[in-house]
Chain A
């Protein structure tokens, strides 16, 4: 990966590194040449790493106290909230952490959409990202089932029933998923197992995601290819580390506010009622981060097609690098795409809004229009735009728009004295 050879200074370091090149890896990560013009939208990669680790650590702790049994799950969560030392803190971090994770991932995805980070040569990074996103949704959904409240139970019932839309084998698959004839204890225990497993799969994919990123290097707000290392780049440490750190701290303040002052606002009151197979809550709503897809599901009047539409809405993203025919990456130089981009953002927000509303009347109509537009954007607008759009002239290097003068390269290289 690293173009320059690295030799550890100490004798032991050299001996170790010849056998397991961990030091070479560390050196690669710290020296990794990063475009110097990355803005704050780029800090969400680091923030997401933080989110994943937070979820894994707090989840591990919760698993020490949680009991995955239909009769005891709800009680054990209350036990965590009341009796376990700092249990309330750890559970609220984990519960709100899921929301924070999705907030960050949406910003991360939309950053990529704006700056064209999914385009060649970064298609693999993008597709791995989509898989991570899918796994996140699976993990979040199963995690929401574990407290075994009313929303857990009925959410699990509704989502697993989606599979019954599959012709012929659908019913069989649902029974198989449940391990019975309804969502019950076998369902809960297998969801717990998978909820425990998935984060580690995500962790592995994140390593691949970053590996794939480090081959071509970061995209940047200007969206042009840059030489590295060059006057357009800075070493990852300390420049990007400190900037990511600053953004992460800002993010943590928002996070802390939710955890300590409004820990239940992103959840649903019904989930503090223990699961009851005889009574469905009046208004079933998924967690906020799944609402846009929920709206797409409900906007199609056919069971099978609704499921197909919802899944397509996600899988269409994987084809995005080939649907977007424009050679220019950054929306900064694509005046038309920029407008369609913001319309898409609004469209997804609207989908989220109607997803939380009852599926009737005006809401249903809006949901249908927004769903249609969502697909229109990816399947029609993007491919055509690549050919029709008049783009702005792009600069030859990022130093040009950023510095407007000669870069102070000597200062950039002079980092060693600060790495003590």
Chain B
């Protein structure tokens, strides 16, 4: 059997294997992708909330993408408390201005960044939130101050459509 012949044969088998492998890969992808959020779930990505009836010192909780979103109208004390904290004291340093563009309104995902429980309002050592699952304390800006949670509670993308309506997402 000549050298040349062997090469050609090898090429044929290699090509067959390679083309076959591409096909297997291409077949597996739809089976994986089907578990990603479907078109109807993606379409619900934004929700509008009427906030006209929320008084200072009150929080409403709305459902967005299956998770609670806290919308809190903060009192002056809470705002000044949040602003007075030094960044060095924070586990996850973020300025309150960056978390609440309009300081009166704090809009954040009500999900503890430790393992996903919903923290309780107006509880804990920092007058903010307290997660009953594993004892994480958040301040009036939703920043982690004590406990196992690694980061501050997440701020979703939102905008004020008008004075009375917030659009989340």
> What residues of chain A have their CB less than 8 Å away from a CB belonging to chain B?
57, 61, 64-65, 79, 82-87, 89-90, 418
B40–A89 touching, CB < 8 Å: no
A61–B31 touching, CB < 8 Å: yes
B interface: dominant SS:
helix
B39–A89 touching, CB < 8 Å: no
B40–A86 touching, CB < 8 Å: no
- B34 is contacted by which of A82, A84, A418 (Cβ under 8 Å)? A84
Query: Which chain B residues border A87 with CB–CB below 8 Å?
Result: 34, 38
B39–A86 touching, CB < 8 Å: no
- B38 is contacted by which of A61, A85, A418 (Cβ under 8 Å)? A85
In the complex, what residue of chain B is closest to A58 when comparing beta carbons?
Answer: B31
B31–A57 touching, CB < 8 Å: yes
- B13 is contacted by which of A79, A84, A418 (Cβ under 8 Å)? A418
New contact pairs (19) apart from A79-B40, A89-B30, CB-CB < 8 Å: A61-B31, A61-B34, A64-B34, A65-B34, A65-B38, A83-B39, A83-B40, A83-B41, A84-B38, A84-B39, A85-B33, A85-B34, A85-B36, A85-B39, A86-B33, A86-B34, A87-B38, A90-B31, A90-B34
Q: Considering the complex of A and B, which 7 residue pairs feature the smallest CB-CB distances, nearest first?
A: A86-B30, A83-B39, A83-B38, A83-B40, A85-B33, A84-B38, A85-B34
In the bound assembly, the distance between CA atoms of A79 and B13 in angstroms comes to: 42
B24 at the interface (CB under 8 A from A): no
Q: Looking at the assembled complex, report how far the CB atom of B133 sits from the nearest CB atom of chain A, in whole angstroms.
A: 29
Q: Looking at the assembled complex, report how far the CB atom of A81 sits from the nearest CB atom of chain B, in whole angstroms.
A: 11
B30–A82 touching, CB < 8 Å: no
Interface membership of chain B positions 1-38, coded 1 if the CB is closer than 8 angstroms to chain A and 0 otherwise: 00000000000010000000000000000110111101
Query: Which chain A residues border B38 with CB–CB below 8 Å?
Result: 65, 79, 83-85, 87
Query: Which chain B residues border A418 with CB–CB below 8 Å?
Result: 13
Query: Which chain A residues border B35 with CB–CB below 8 Å?
Result: 64
A interface: dominant SS:
helix
In the bound assembly, the distance between CA atoms of A57 and B34 in angstroms comes to: 12
Query: Which chain A residues border B13 with CB–CB below 8 Å?
Result: 418
Q: Looking at the assembled complex, report how far the CB atom of A99 sits from the nearest CB atom of chain B, in whole angstroms.
A: 19
In the bound assembly, the distance between CA atoms of A84 and B13 in angstroms comes to: 37
List, sorted by A's number, 18 A–B pairs whose CB atoms are closer than 8 Å.
A57-B31, A61-B34, A64-B35, A65-B38, A79-B38, A79-B40, A82-B39, A83-B38, A83-B39, A84-B38, A84-B39, A85-B30, A85-B39, A86-B30, A87-B34, A87-B38, A90-B30, A90-B31
In the bound assembly, the distance between CA atoms of A65 and B41 in angstroms comes to: 13
In the bound assembly, the distance between CA atoms of A84 and B30 in angstroms comes to: 10
Query: Which chain B residues border A85 with CB–CB below 8 Å?
Result: 30, 33-34, 36, 38-39
In the bound assembly, the distance between CA atoms of A85 and B38 in angstroms comes to: 6
Query: Which chain A residues border B34 with CB–CB below 8 Å?
Result: 61, 64-65, 84-87, 90
Q: Looking at the assembled complex, report how far the CB atom of A131 sits from the nearest CB atom of chain B, in whole angstroms.
A: 29
Name the residue in B30, B31, B34, B41 with the highest tally of chain A Cβ atoms < 10 Å from its Cβ: B34
In the complex, what residue of chain A is closest to B39 when comparing beta carbons?
Answer: A83
In the complex, what residue of chain B is closest to A238 when comparing beta carbons?
Answer: B13
Query: Which chain A residues border B36 with CB–CB below 8 Å?
Result: 85
In the bound assembly, the distance between CA atoms of A294 and B70 in angstroms comes to: 62
Query: Which chain A residues border B30 with CB–CB below 8 Å?
Result: 85-86, 89-90
In the bound assembly, the distance between CA atoms of A86 and B35 in angstroms comes to: 10
In the complex, what residue of chain B is closest to A84 when comparing beta carbons?
Answer: B38
In the bound assembly, the distance between CA atoms of A418 and B40 in angstroms comes to: 50
Query: Which chain B residues border A79 with CB–CB below 8 Å?
Result: 38, 40
In the bound assembly, the distance between CA atoms of A124 and B25 in angstroms comes to: 38
In the bound assembly, the distance between CA atoms of A46 and B13 in angstroms comes to: 21
Query: Which chain B residues border A82 with CB–CB below 8 Å?
Result: 39-40
In the bound assembly, the distance between CA atoms of A89 and B38 in angstroms comes to: 14
Query: Which chain B residues border A64 with CB–CB below 8 Å?
Result: 34-35
In the bound assembly, the distance between CA atoms of A61 and B40 in angstroms comes to: 18
In the bound assembly, the distance between CA atoms of A137 and B34 in angstroms comes to: 28
